[in-house]
Chains A and B, each alone.
Chain A
Amino acid sequence: MSTLEIKDLHVSIETEQGTKEILKGVSLTIKTGETHAIMGPNGSGKSTLASTIAGHPRYTVTSGSITLDGEDVLEMSVDERARAGVFLAMQYPVEVPGVTMTNFLRTAKTAIDGEAPALRTWTKDVKAAMQELRIDADFAQRNVNEGFSGGEKKRVEILQLELFKPKFAVLDETDSGLDVDALKVVSEGVNRAHATGNMGTLLITHYTRILRYIKPDFVHVFVDGKVVEEGGPELADRLEEEGYDRYLSGAGAAVAPAVQA
């Protein structure tokens, strides 16, 4: 049983207009076996949270903490976080020139496990995982994400999730840009990884439709860098019906006061 704990996290970025605070005090605790959905409108800081957990250099933590079983994650470099068991399925996976998928997957697996995987079982595992995610076998020889469609990139992210077996998976809008078939395939992959019972999941999404396939235990609504409401899966259903409008204090709009977390 592992715990990923985020406490009163404040994060800012540098913009041309100066420093801008994006996360304004986020607290979350995720345990092995749990699925947490973070939902919110565009610009609410959902993806910032994901990137900050993974250690993207663009984001500066000004206060608060992230710990994994008590270890200070913020002290770790990006690769150390991954080796500690944090996996980020990226919203926009980049194309990496010159590196084949095969080579990349093996190198990453070796880095994460601290030893090279047994070649025979590894090759078999990769093949099987690719098949389940309906990724063409010839992708193995292609360069990482190079020329992949949006849906293919997302499937390859989940392929890595299944192969690297992290303690915690952060899925940053993995569902965006996917058609229904691809969404099902990807969701099944996440559910398979989750079913091993050794993973906690933080699912970040703008839409509710992925929650038809991946059942969250907890739903957190994110607005303006803060969690404004928390609840069980029923909260997602409510959001599907009502949208985010009631959390947004737009000009002249009559909105219900947000519940502070």
Chain B
Amino acid sequence: MTETTTEKARIGAPSAQPYINGFTEEGENLSPINADGTVAAPSSGPLAGDSAKGHSHGGGVGVPDSSRAGRLTSYKLEDFKALTGLEEDWRFTPLRRLRGLHTEALSGAAPSVSVSAPEGVTVETVGRDDNRIGTAGIPEDRVSANAWANFKEATVITVPAETSLDSEVSVVLAGNGSEASAQHVVIVAEKFSKGLVVLGHEGSAVVSENVEIVLEDGAELTVVSLQEWNDDSVHASSQQAKIGRDAKFKHITVSLGGNLVRVTPTARFAAPGGEVELFGLYFADAGQHLEHRTYVDHAQPNCVSNVLYKGALQGKDAHTVWVGDVLIQKQAEGTDSYEKNQNLVLTDGCRADSVPNLEIETGLIEGAGHASATGRFDDEHLFYLMARGIPEDVARRLVVRGFLNEIIQKIKVPALEERLTEAVERELAAGDN
């Protein structure tokens, strides 16, 4: 393996211009961080030349189509080509830091699962042949397919029909290893049930995870996925929900800890009348890569979706990525959708990528909007707040807390909201050092 240094490109003339990771004179450089030794690093600019020509968005045998609908999905690992880092859905991810999740058999011990659930909820550990596996999800990328090929057992959580839970189902996934592993979780909200499931990821792990979420007709389900890993963890998580008729799904991602976290929540409407909310909060510190890719597939008429992800970044090489895909298919008349990402950059040396993608195949919709804004908290903000008597540390916290609080408030579980508020405070306190 040859030593590949991170390609730092120049902007403008070849003089002493500032370097920005991932950019060349010609614009954005596709994944310069991804030369992982297994694939020859592109010698010319990746935006031109052979490497770009060979690239298809399908990443495999799928339709080489720029539409999200054309992306390859398969339960078979071998259908997905080896990753080069140039794929549309991997171009921001530092593959070298995936610790083999995309290349190795995931034979390590998966994070241990412990569930505490209110009465009525069924919790089972099942084998690969359980017929509920595969009901809501199908891998959309190689890392997810790798987990699908390698998981040994799955945890299935069922909220029974017409049951309203009076407290949350708490699932703790505790990692205690550094070998690449595979995890599988299935959550089923049966007809007209109401419930909330919290997936708490903690400890140290290198894990690719598939979470399947089934909302039967009329079900209301909130799933909160907390990534509070130790600093050395690597986590790829494909969380796919199938939304039944008139069902309401709320999904909240909170990513705070881990070396590399890549969560890809997908919601697919299987029948008309469904509602989906995808919310996310992330706080990247120095060196952390936190990536979220949301996808709402409006394949049915008269469904509503709303996506809001908010992130804060501080410290050298803190990197966040948000890519939001919304596809409104031809038959999805009466769709109402919106997606937004906002980032707050607190210090120099951070990078926030934000890409809202909206595909609309019918004009007969209620609404479709997308927005993205990345701003920085700078010295003038600080001066303004301090000129009103507010000490510097309080000012900083005020801004970040206020910014992220919008997501925390969506959770509606006071104890959890409090815990997350404290977690955000800890992140801020760490930034003060």
Chain A residues packing against B (C-beta within 8 Å): 54-57, 77-79, 81-83, 88, 90, 93-94, 96-100, 103-104, 107-108, 111-112, 143-144, 160, 164
* Distance to closest chain A CB from B113 (angstroms): 36
The reply to whether B388 and A164 form a contact with Cβ atoms under 8 Å apart is yes
Q: Which of B389, B399, B403 contacts A83 (CB 8 A)?
A: B389
Q: Which of B375, B384, B398, B404 contacts A93 (CB 8 A)?
A: B384
The reply to whether B344 and A108 form a contact with Cβ atoms under 8 Å apart is no
Compute how far the CA of A55 lies from the CA of B388 in the bound complex, rounded to whole angstroms: 12
Given A57-B383, A111-B394, also A97-B388 (CB < 8 A): no
The reply to whether B403 and A103 form a contact with Cβ atoms under 8 Å apart is no
Query: Which of B392, B394, B399, B402 neighbours the largest number of chain A CB atoms within 10 Å of its CB?
Result: B402
Given A56-B383, A94-B381, also A99-B399 (CB < 8 A): yes
Q: Mind listing 7 A-B residue pairs with CB under 8 Å?
A: A78-B383, A79-B386, A83-B389, A98-B398, A99-B398, A103-B402, A107-B398
Contacts of B394 in A (CB 8 A): 107, 111
* B378 to A, closest residue via Cβ: A94
Contact with A along B387-409 (1 / 0, CB 8 A): 11111101000111111100000
Given A99-B399, A99-B402, also A90-B389 (CB < 8 A): no
Q: Which label, helix, strand, loop or mixed, suits the secondary structure of the B interface? A: helix
Q: Which of A55, A57, A79, A98 contacts B390 (CB 8 A)?
A: A79
Chain B residues packing against A (C-beta within 8 Å): 344, 375, 377, 379-381, 383-392, 394, 398-404
Given A94-B380, A97-B344, A98-B403, also A82-B387 (CB < 8 A): yes
The reply to whether B400 and A108 form a contact with Cβ atoms under 8 Å apart is no
* Distance to closest chain A CB from B385 (angstroms): 7
Q: Which of B383, B389, B400 contacts A111 (CB 8 A)?
A: B389
The reply to whether B391 and A104 form a contact with Cβ atoms under 8 Å apart is no
* A160 to B, closest residue via Cβ: B388
* A99 to B, closest residue via Cβ: B402
The reply to whether A79 and B392 form a contact with Cβ atoms under 8 Å apart is yes
The reply to whether A82 and B386 form a contact with Cβ atoms under 8 Å apart is yes
* A95 to B, closest residue via Cβ: B381
* A82 to B, closest residue via Cβ: B389
Contacts of A99 in B (CB 8 A): 385, 398-399, 402-403
* Distance to closest chain B CB from A187 (angstroms): 22
* B379 to A, closest residue via Cβ: A57
Contacts of A94 in B (CB 8 A): 380-381, 383-384
* Distance to closest chain A CB from B388 (angstroms): 4
Compute how far the CA of A79 lies from the CA of B395 in the bound complex, rounded to whole angstroms: 10
Compute how far the CA of A55 lies from the CA of B402 in the bound complex, rounded to whole angstroms: 26
* B395 to A, closest residue via Cβ: A79
* Distance to closest chain B CB from A99 (angstroms): 4
Contacts of A78 in B (CB 8 A): 383, 386-387
